[in-house]
Amino acid sequence: MIDTNEFPIVARWPAKNPSVIQLYSYPTPNGVKISIALEEMGLPYEAHLVTLSDADVKSPEFLSLNPNNKIPAIIDPNGPDGPIGLFESGAILLYLAEKSGKFLGKTATEKAKTTQWLMFQMGGLGPMLGQMGFFYKFAGADIADPRPRERYLNEAIRLLAVLDAQLEGKDWIADDFSIADIAIAPWINALEFYGTKDLVGYHDLKNVPAYVERFFARPAVQKARSIPNPNG
């Protein structure tokens, strides 16, 4: 069970079934990583919509679980040493993979390779594509100086080329479908939202487009990509 004194967030987003994993999220690339993982792994969970507004992510209740005021975050009432709260999508993916015994790899070598590509997304692909989106679609588009825009565009192109080369002759980024794919594919899909596919030469890539299509064709991914439902 979940103690409201230990996890004040449940006072604002009450758990209907406090015996299962509680997911606090919004369907952004980072957010859907966790709903996809939970669906793929078959772990029971309950999703709570946390909007990106300050009223939600900077509320005392949300900050009690994630002081970094970003989605996603989870509470697992059945953690290894009792209930545990976690934030940072990469850390949550690793935790869920260990808990379920799925999508991390079977050997130490496979786990290390999966983790390296997860870190590639966390440290490179996600931040660079996100910044590119800011400078092309959002407030950064109004900045006259072209250098930030060009910096993130060029880095996005470089990172996509790295992925394209890694996917040569492979369905998935590591040895098999893994949490690295769950982290990477939603961020590549964000190029559509940012309106930057043509800018990065997406359709000229040999392997990445088919990889993204393959990923989003998975039934669990189709279900999870809009969890939590932003329309209520």
Nearest to 178 by CA among 208, 215, 213, 223: 215
pTM of the complete model: 0.96
Phi and psi torsions of 135, nearest 5°:
-85, -10
**What's the rounded mean pLDDT across residues 18-22?**
97
- Fold exhibited by the domain 9-102: Glutaredoxin (3.40.30)
- How far is residue 175's CA from residue 231's CA, in Å, rounded to a whole number? 37
Q: In terms of DSSP H, where are the helices of the chain?
A: 9-12, 29-41, 54-57, 60-65, 89-100, 108-120, 126-136, 147-166, 179-194, 208-216, 219-224
CATH of domain 108-218: 1.20.1050.10
Write the pLDDT tens digit of every residue in 166-189.
Answer: 999 999 999 899 999 999 999 999
Rg of the chain in Å (alpha carbons): 18
Write the pLDDT tens digit of every residue in 118-140.
Answer: 999 999 999 999 999 999 998 89
1, pLDDT greater than 80: no
Say yes or no: do domains 9-102 and 108-218 share a fold. no
219: pLDDT confidence band, cut at 50, 70 and 90?
A: very high
DSSP states of 118-174 as a string?
Answer: HHHIIIIIHHHHHHHHHHHTSGGGG-S--HHHHHHHHHHHHHHHHHHHHTTT-SSSS
- How far is residue 212's CA from residue 232's CA, in Å, rounded to a whole number? 27
Which of 5-9, 35-39, 141-145 shows the highest mean pLDDT? Answer: 35-39
pLDDT of residue 5: 84
- How far is residue 189's CA from residue 150's CA, in Å, rounded to a whole number? 20
The percentage of residues in the chain with a pLDDT greater than 70, rounded to a whole number, is 99
Q: Per the structure block, which two tokens stand in for 133?
A: 């989106």
Break the chain into its structural domains and give their ranges: 9-102, 108-218
- How far is residue 207's CA from residue 228's CA, in Å, rounded to a whole number? 30
232, pLDDT greater than 80: no
The percentage of residues in the chain with a pLDDT greater than 90, rounded to a whole number, is 95
- C-alpha torsion 68→76→185→29, nearest 10: -40
Amino acid found at 231: N
Distances (CA, A) of 55 to 33, 50, 58, 60: 23, 10, 6, 9
4: pLDDT confidence band, cut at 50, 70 and 90?
A: confident
